[in-house]
Amino acid sequence: MDDLEYLNPTIERMAKSELIKLQEERLRKLMTYLRDHSNFYKKLLKNEKIDFNDIKTLHDLKRLPFTSKQDFRDNYPTGMFCVPLDKLVRYHASSGTTGRPKIVGYTKNDIHEWSKSLARGLISLGIGKDDVIQNSYGYGLFTGGLGFHYGAEMIDATIIPTGAGGTERQITLMQDLESTVMTCTPSYFLHIAEIVESLGINLRKDTKLRAGVFGAEPWSEDMRQRIEDSTGIKAYDVYGTSELSGPLFTECIHQNGLHVWADQYIVEIINPTTGEVLDDGERGELVVTTLLKEALPLIRYRTGDITNIISEKCECGRTSPRIMRIHGRTDDMLIIRGINVFPSQVESVLLKIPELSENYQLIITRKHELDRMAIKIEVSKIYKKSEFLSIKKKIINDLRNVLNLSVDVELVEAGVIPRSMGKATRVIDKRKI
Ligand SMILES: [Zn+2]
């Protein structure tokens, strides 16, 4: 395969009005499909007294009820599936921290469409057949590893399926097989970079690494700056969730929002409290309808992720809507003495202070009915006591100014906070224990 600018130029550059026509056509097909194959949605629509045949346009879509994470739990393991189980070619499962995992299943075509989403994204990042992609997302029930694996194969890139962990071996392979791209969580990449440095290897000179596609945990724009400045690679964001297939939408080289593949998915933003649909540009909860999925199609699935839609055409020529980098998850939002705080907001404040490293934890406690947030963060080098005090003071002041939150701060030396091979544990909420 030659290097491509687009995987599906017709779709990716389609005029907005045509794209909407295509979405509505596929929405009507989806309604017929669900009417014929989904016991779950048949019941749901009957309860709401809605006829599948009445849903014809994007405007009509707003009449449909939401699908939620709870529906996965209530219909565990495969009650929401629309195909006989022998039509499945694969299962994955979400890493539920509490209770049952969410089980997802795929037909052959579902895997093909999912791979296409990622292949389009990789191409939009200038990644192609000459690239060597070291895939350090976990392989297994988690969707990250196999998701990227199939996407990378579709564009004829060479993939090294290292999975997460074995950091020194990762570095050896990166050098010996000349990896150009890494895919993993941003925190794991930072850990790898740290070990690289301790081994006296210079990532810029001694490796061919030029880009990373990072996701599966929330990370801030300031974290991106840190990664790019300290390692010299381009750091790109990817979004997805196992219920919708896995990793799906990536940024393009312009790093200005993640491209939603509108021929496969319809996105909406709602007010998470009232369910009201918000205008493009307004921040709220991302809701996604799948247009082409066979095994587990979803109508208006509430992802719990907070973002906004960017509707203007991107510089790369793609016409699909984009979503902003995820601001946080409704599940992750902390309420500290009545103030709503997303951990990513705290991260942004911390990483603007150059004396601090990217390794931190937020520890929430409750004493005498009063919530308290303590920040434990590593400093980037050893400082004098007076410097220590002024760094501490700066953190406290900045967080008070930006978030109106008063915190306790503990500065620790490098290496104290545990490193993660997958999703980093940034928040320890002792109120829940
Ligand atoms: Zn773009």
pLDDT in tens, 4-23: 799 999 999 999 999 999 99
pLDDT attached to residue 433? 62
Least confident interval from 1-15, 34-48, 212-226, 278-292: 1-15
pLDDT attached to residue 332? 86
Average pLDDT over residues 98-108: 90
- What's the CA dihedral at 113, 118, 120, 122 to 10 degrees? -160
Non-local (6+) Cβ contacts of 57 within 8 A are 24, 27
pLDDT attached to residue 218? 85
Average pLDDT over residues 121-127: 98
CA 178 / ligand 1 centre spacing (Å): 27
| Rg of the Cα atoms in the chain | 22
Global pTM? 0.92
CA 7 / ligand 1 centre spacing (Å): 13
CA 348 / ligand 1 centre spacing (Å): 24
CA 254 / ligand 1 centre spacing (Å): 6
CA 165 / ligand 1 centre spacing (Å): 32
pLDDT attached to residue 381? 86
The sign of the torsion formed by the CA atoms of 310, 312, 315, 318 equals positive
CA 237 / ligand 1 centre spacing (Å): 12
Q: Percent of the chain having pLDDT more than 90?
A: 88
- For residue 238, CA distances in Å to 49, 140, 186, 216, 285 come to 38, 19, 11, 8, 17
pLDDT attached to residue 44? 97
pLDDT attached to residue 371? 92
| More confident call, 327 vs 267 | 267
pLDDT in tens, 125-180: 999 999 999 999 999 999 999 999 999 999 999 999 999 999 999 999 999 999 99
CA 144 / ligand 1 centre spacing (Å): 22
Q: What is the mean pLDDT of the chain?
A: 95
CA 221 / ligand 1 centre spacing (Å): 17
- Local confidence band at 331 (pLDDT 50, 70, 90 cut-offs): confident
| φ and ψ at residue 57, rounded to 5 degrees | -130, 170
pLDDT attached to residue 2? 54
Statement: residue 106 has pLDDT above 60:
yes
- Local confidence band at 62 (pLDDT 50, 70, 90 cut-offs): very high
Statement: residue 199 has pLDDT above 60:
yes
pLDDT attached to residue 411? 95
- Local confidence band at 339 (pLDDT 50, 70, 90 cut-offs): confident
Contact between 359 and 413 under an 8 Å Cβ cutoff? The reply is no
pLDDT attached to residue 343? 92
pLDDT in tens, 347-398: 999 999 999 999 999 999 998 888 999 999 999 888 899 999 999 999 999 9
- Local confidence band at 3 (pLDDT 50, 70, 90 cut-offs): low
- For residue 249, CA distances in Å to 164, 218, 274, 295 come to 21, 14, 27, 20
Say how many C-beta atoms besides its own lie within 10 A of residue 216's C-beta: 26
pLDDT in tens, 202-231: 999 999 999 999 999 889 999 999 999 999
pLDDT in tens, 300-324: 999 999 999 999 989 999 999 999 9
Classify burial at 422, counting beta carbons within 10 Å of its beta carbon; exposed 0-12, middle 13-18, buried 19 or more. buried
CA 5 / ligand 1 centre spacing (Å): 11
d(CA 249, CA 280): 18
CA 102 / ligand 1 centre spacing (Å): 32
